[in-house]
């Protein structure tokens, strides 16, 4: 069977020297001439001649020697070409081929650079960085490393007490008199001065096309790891808050340890030669981390997802992170990410080789998915033209929402609207509406300007007991107001339904855009009303979307009280027609 070390060909062609090149650059292997793609011997007629020509051609084209053996099976000859692995890069007419799995690939770009470096026992982060001076390095970065390393106990105290320059030697971050690229990444205040794209981007997306807000995290890699995780858990991810007795418990949509492992893995193993930053996309129901980090040349995605040895893309960076206690050194990162998610009741993260890099997608906890679905429904209702009740109910100052807003303000009197939106899940208008009510009720005061000012909780409402009673009174008052509003809106919606029914009775083949134009409504509003009418069995769609028609069920029993009220007020003729039709049917 064909595999990493075996390839079958029915007959010889000189272009198969590329396959020999691929074996030599990988782990070596056998190229067998005279077998078909299922391994059956078909034979080679000129085996003796080929056994003499092939070694010479390989020597002339690749500069290496191979063993060529003539074998026999079922009375037929075939040729076995034995290729040894070579410790230095082998090229075929300037092309570098590599055997990976059961396929051959030509190495180009970053993959070729990495291959050539590894064949010479080097890695990208271990090369000297021209122009980098020790005086440019940031003392605070060394302090941060020492603090982390002291806590991890992976470097003895004596080593940590030496000068910064000596510490670089202990971490193998020097190359003779020069500093390595890894040094710039780990200890320079601005690594991007030397290494383009050495930063992290985070964005919050409502849909793939709708970016709501974003951040960039710069600085040395230790700072990037800390700041990225801090931003994710304080700004981008909403925690579900519960209480165990009087203790507040925050539960995030993803296990904190799992997310930490994924972020740090991306920073440590990134392909920094690409010039492309790490990208983290946060949605309501998922989180995606992508980095331009490629698998080792002879690895597949399956190798990554199973137990494997540690093979870091940036060994010097990885060593510093290990000494700082931020990663392990056993190749267990991916395994830990999966285990932590499963143990916490989440689906396994999805790993992909995507867009030239490695991507991991986390799926939010099931209880967060249901919460987000409810929020999406509320957002849809807020955007609908006729759903005034949805807007009003969404804006009601309930005790929990008020306490949440006031808790945010207590923690940070200068908290702005985007922060409140993020922590409450409300829209901008929703937050502003809530704040206005709290101001009108005398609970809150804005001190200073809109941009530079702050919030103040007025006396006596800084007392929890008094505030609770006040919010209870407000809640009752708003509940009565919403109830009255819901009656008015119900009648309004019924008027729209009656108008649609009248249009359908007049023209059963009328289209949704035509209805929207006639009623001066949006097409989405018409579609929603049609669905409501279908659900209540008042109308029925006969046939396909194109070519079908609407059937109106005009029996009086299908009309509810709101329809009757609306008909009396807005369409008395329609009510008369419906009643007449029922009376006529009873006479018959």
- Cβ distance 214 to 201 under 8 Å? yes
Instruction: Among 253-257, 274-278, 542-546, name the one with the lowest average pLDDT.
Output: 542-546
Mean pLDDT of 53-62: 94
pLDDT at 378: 43
Q: Which residue has the higher pLDDT, 132 or 391?
A: 132
Contacts of 334 (CB under 8 A, 6+ apart): 265, 304, 305, 351
User: Considering the chain, what is the average pLDDT of its residues?
Assistant: 82
Residues 406 and 462 in one domain: yes
The confidence band for 475, taking pLDDT boundaries of 50, 70 and 90, is: low
Domains in the chain, number? 4
Residues 447 and 467 in one domain: yes
Residue 290: Cβ within 10 Å count: 22
pLDDT at 380: 43
In the chain, what percentage of residues exceed pLDDT 70?
A: 83
End-to-end Cα separation, the chain, in angstroms: 83
Which residue from 331, 329, 349, 350 is spatially nearest to 339, judged by alpha carbons? 349
Where is the domain boundary, 329, 364, 399? 364
Query: In CATH, what number is assigned to the domain containing residue 386?
Result: 1.10.10.10
| Residue 179 falls inside a structural domain | no
- Cβ distance 199 to 192 under 8 Å? yes
- DSSP, res 353: E
In the chain, what percentage of residues exceed pLDDT 90?
A: 44
- Biggest alpha carbon distance in the chain? 109
Instruction: Among 27-41, 147-161, 527-541, name the one with the lowest average pLDDT.
Output: 527-541
Residues 347 and 287 in one domain: yes
β-strands 454-457, 444-447: how paired?
A: antiparallel
Where is the domain boundary, 364, 387, 404? 364
As separate numbers, helices (DSSP H) first and strands (DSSP E) second, the chain gives 22, 20
| Residue 386 falls inside a structural domain | yes
pLDDT digits (tens, 9 = 90+) for 88-128: 899 999 999 999 888 888 998 878 888 888 887 888 999 99
What is d(CA 222, CA 187) in angstroms, rounded to the nearest whole number?
Answer: 9
Residues 244 and 343 in one domain: yes
| Residue 51 falls inside a structural domain | yes
Residues 261 and 373 in one domain: no
| Residue 347 falls inside a structural domain | yes
| Residue 293 falls inside a structural domain | yes
- DSSP, res 233: I
Could you tell me the CA-to-CA distances from 264 to 9, 104, 152, 225 in Å, in that order? 45, 32, 16, 6
Whether the full predicted model's pTM is greater than 0.75, yes or no, is: no
Q: With both helix axes pointing from N to C terminus, report the angle between 388-395 and 428-440 in degrees, rounded to the nearest 10.
A: 60
| Residue 134 falls inside a structural domain | no
pLDDT at 476: 62
Q: Quick check: 477 pLDDT over 70? A: no
**Cα angle, residue 182 at apex, residues 179 and 184 outer, rounded to 5°:** 70
Query: In CATH, what number is assigned to the domain containing residue 10?
Result: 3.30.950.30
Query: In CATH, what number is assigned to the domain containing residue 291?
Result: 3.30.565.60
Residues 227 and 357 in one domain: yes
Q: Kindly write down the DSSP assignment for every residue of 63-86, as one continuous string.
A: S---EEEEEEETTEEEEEEEE---
Mean pLDDT of 419-431: 75
| Residue 510 falls inside a structural domain | yes
Q: Quick check: 556 pLDDT over 70? A: no
Chain position carrying tokens 């096309």 = 209
- Cβ distance 219 to 228 under 8 Å? no
| Residue 546 falls inside a structural domain | yes
Mean pLDDT of 211-224: 94
- Residues found in the chain: 588
For 345, the enclosing helix (H) or strand (E) is none
pLDDT at 580: 61
Q: Quick check: 468 pLDDT over 90? A: no
At 427, is the secondary structure helix, strand, or coil?
A: coil
pLDDT digits (tens, 9 = 90+) for 499-511: 888 888 878 888 8
Where is the domain boundary, 481, 507, 535? 481
Residues 581 and 455 in one domain: no
Residues 111 and 19 in one domain: yes
Residues 465 and 550 in one domain: no
Mean pLDDT of 246-263: 87
Q: Per-residue b/e over 170-203, b at no fewer than 16 CB within 10 Å?
A: ebebbeeeebbbbbbbbbbeebbebbebbbbbbb
pLDDT at 500: 86
Q: Quick check: 278 pLDDT over 90? A: yes
Residues 465 and 583 in one domain: no
Residues 377 and 358 in one domain: no
pLDDT digits (tens, 9 = 90+) for 333-361: 888 899 999 998 899 999 988 777 889 99
Q: Which residue has the higher pLDDT, 433 or 314?
A: 314
Residues 83 and 225 in one domain: no
What is d(CA 467, CA 64) in angstroms, rounded to the nearest whole number?
Answer: 85
Which residue from 172, 138, 180, 140 is spatially nearest to 155, judged by alpha carbons? 172
Expressed as residue numbers, the domain containing 524 is 488-587
Which residue from 555, 13, 424, 44 is spatially nearest to 438, judged by alpha carbons? 424
């Amino acid at each position: 069977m064909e595999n990493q070390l075996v390839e079958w060909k029915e007959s010889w062609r000189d272009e198969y020297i590329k396959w020999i090149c691929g074996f030599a650059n990988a782990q070596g292997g056998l190229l067998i001439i005279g077998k078909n793609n299922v391994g059956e011997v078909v034979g080679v007629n000129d085996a003796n001649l080929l056994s003499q020509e092939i070694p010479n051609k390989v020597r002339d084209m690749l500069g290496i020697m191979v063993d060529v053996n003539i074998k026999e099976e079922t009375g037929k000859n075939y040729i076995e070409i034995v290729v040894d692995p070579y410790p230095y890069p082998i090229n075929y007419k300037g092309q570098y081929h590599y055997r990976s799995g059961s396929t051959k690939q030509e190495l180009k770009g970053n993959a070729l650079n990495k291959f050539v470096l590894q064949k010479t026992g080097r890695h990208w982060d271990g090369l000297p960085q021209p122009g980098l001076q020790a005086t440019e390095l940031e003392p605070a970065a060394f302090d941060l490393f020492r603090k982390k390393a002291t806590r991890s106990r992976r470097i003895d105290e004596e080593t940590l007490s030496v000068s910064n320059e000596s510490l670089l030697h202990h971490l193998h971050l020097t190359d003779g008199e020069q500093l390595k690229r890894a040094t710039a990444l780990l200890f320079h205040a601005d690594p991007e001065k030397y290494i383009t794209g050495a930063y992290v981007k985070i964005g919050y997306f409502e849909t793939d096309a709708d970016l709501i807000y974003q951040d960039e995290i710069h600085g040395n890699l230790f700072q990037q790891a800390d700041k990225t995780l801090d931003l994710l858990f304080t700004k981008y991810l909403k925690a579900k808050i519960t209480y165990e007795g009087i203790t507040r418990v925050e539960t995030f949509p993803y296990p904190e340890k799992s997310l930490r492992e994924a972020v740090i893995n991306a920073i440590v193993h990134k392909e920094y030669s690409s010039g492309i930053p790490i990208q983290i996309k946060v949605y309501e129901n998922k989180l995606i981390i992508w980095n331009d980090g490629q698998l080792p040349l002879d690895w597949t995605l399956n190798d990554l997802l199973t137990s494997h040895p540690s093979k870091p893309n940036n060994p010097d960076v990885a060593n510093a992170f290990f000494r700082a206690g931020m990663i392990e050194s056993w190749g267990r990162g991916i395994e830990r990410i999966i285990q932590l998610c499963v143990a916490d009741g989440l689906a396994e993260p999805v790993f992909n080789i995507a867009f030239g890099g490695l991507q991991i997608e986390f799926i939010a906890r099931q209880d967060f998915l249901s919460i987000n679905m409810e929020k999406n429904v509320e957002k849809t209702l807020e955007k609908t033209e006729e759903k005034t009740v949805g807007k009003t109910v969404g804006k009601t100052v309930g005790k929990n929402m008020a306490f949440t807003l006031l808790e945010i303000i207590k923690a940070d009197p200068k908290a702005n609207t985007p922060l409140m939106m993020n922590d409450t899940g409300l829209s901008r208008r929703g937050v502003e509406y809530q704040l206005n009510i709290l101001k009108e009720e005398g609970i809150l005061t804005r001190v200073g300007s809109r941009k530079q000012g702050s919030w103040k909780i007025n006396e006596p409402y800084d007392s929890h007991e008094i505030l609770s009673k006040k919010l209870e009174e407000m809640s009752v008052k708003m509940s009565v107001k919403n109830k009255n509003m819901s009656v008015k809106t119900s009648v309004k919606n019924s008027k729209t339904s009656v108008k649609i029914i009248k249009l359908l009775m007049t023209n059963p083949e009328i289209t949704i855009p035509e209805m929207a134009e006639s009623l001066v409504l949006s097409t989405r509003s018409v579609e929603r009303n049609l669905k409501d009418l279908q659900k209540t069995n008042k109308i029925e769609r006969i046939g396909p979307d194109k070519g079908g028609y609407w059937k109106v069920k005009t029996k009086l029993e299908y009309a509810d009280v709101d329809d009757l009220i609306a008909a009396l007020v807005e369409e008395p003729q329609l009510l008369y027609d419906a009643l007449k039709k029922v009376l006529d049917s009873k006479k018959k």
